[in-house]
Amino acid sequence: MRPTASAMKAEMHHAATPPESLWSKGWYRLAKPLASPNHGPRPGLTPTDLVVIHSISLPPGVYGGPEIEQLFTNTLDWDAHPYFQGIRGLQVSAHFVVRRNGELLQFVSCDDRAWHAGVSHYRGRSQCNDDSIGIELEGLEGESFEAAQYETLVSLCTALGQHYPIQHIAGHEHIAPDRKKDPGCGFVWEFLQQNLGWPASYFPESVRRA
């Protein structure tokens, strides 16, 4: 997973940009904004200190179409594919989506509560939507992800850690293990740990490097 020339250029631009100038009211300036109606205020009782990694593809295993954006903005044609009948009426969102080519989309301000975690519990707290930031990687749980996605994810997590009191990062599978399996065994946690340089305690115990 060697960085591409374009990713290295973007990383140099990121490094040269003061951290605070990357943000405006919870919106990340290096992401394409696509505002979702599916969000609400955070309770404000606890700090936003958790990043949750998900995977998504619509229909499952199909990449590059507009369906993820349509789902998160409540414009998906439920009759366009048989799979959509099983999720008809679903109203969900994540703060970010990372496309297969590394493109970064943002749907909800990180200052607000996106609807990505569902019933969940982690680091002694329930309802992880309240105090987490959700990142969807375009992909299928258990399958591999692209180098460009890891590059974007590292840059994004670095920016989040500079702007928010992040102390934990986990997969959907870690915060809702009875319900969810994403991003799954195809996600290389070791790459993320090596390139973020965050303490091992920030990561789920099951994926920590020795």
CA distance 172 to 136: 10
User: Order of strands across the sheet with 168-171?
Assistant: 32-33, 104-106, 96-98, 132-138, 50-56, 168-171
User: Residue 19 carries which DSSP code?
Assistant: G
Whether 103 is catalytic = no
Nearest to 139 by CA among 55, 206, 46, 58: 55
Decide the pairing of beta strands 104-106 and 96-98: antiparallel
| Residue 104 DSSP SS3 | strand
CA distance 180 to 154: 23
Structure token pair of residue 83: 């799979």
Identified catalytic residue from 67, 136, 141, 146: 136
* Overall residue count recorded for the chain in this entry: 210
Q: Which active-site residues does the annotation give?
A: 136
